[in-house]
Amino acid sequence: MPPENSEQGRWFTETLQPHEEELRAWLRGRFPPTLDFDDIVQEAFVSSWKAHEEGRLKSPKAFLFGAARNLALRSLRTRKVRGYDSVIPIEECDISNGESSVQETVSRKQELQILTLAIQSLPDKCRQIFTLRKVYGMTQREIARKLDLSPRTVNAQITIGLHKCAMYVKSHCREGLQ
């Protein structure tokens, strides 16, 4: 990483570092606790920094979160291939920890699957805008700049995406009740 007193150091401190806490929370909410989030965050910072140095970085926050996601997924794949996850520490096997029941867990996974299918059913541009806003947390203005669109178009596509996802979920839930 660059020295903190340099211009590059200020860029890092002002642009990437403010997202560290949010990135850690985002990773903890989406990946198993067996991953080393410290390493993933650090590597994501390094990847983002390199992209910035090479002039490839248009949306630092989106790139940072995308890099972290890719690193976490790669770590999971590596662990699965090497069999690291085949032995689970006994502390993690406490099924009576009061968190959530099997039914709640299954229900949440089904809801997530339905929402994923709803997002995948959106038209390409709408899905891209919706994902940048809802998954990566970019502002409408950032999305408009990144995709070279008017903020009004971005707003309309997000509204359309929300409506279509809601209709998809509603119709799927209705089918499940019959």
- Quick one: which of 41, 56, 61 has its CA closest to 143? 61
Count Cβ atoms within 10 A of the Cβ of residue 174 and give its class: 0-12 exposed, 13-18 middle, 19 or more buried. Answer: exposed
Among the candidates 40, 74, 94, a domain finishes at 94
Among the candidates 94, 119, 154, a domain finishes at 94
Are residues 126 and 83 part of one domain? no
Per the CB < 8 A criterion, the answer to whether 129 and 146 are in contact is no
What pTM does this model have?
Answer: 0.45
* pLDDT tens readout for residues 123-171: 999 999 988 888 888 888 899 999 999 988 988 888 888 888 888 888 8
Structure confidence at residue 101 (pLDDT): 60
Are residues 56 and 34 part of one domain? yes
Are residues 116 and 76 part of one domain? no
Structural domains of the chain, count: 2
Q: What is the phi/psi pair of residue 138, to 5°? A: -70, 150
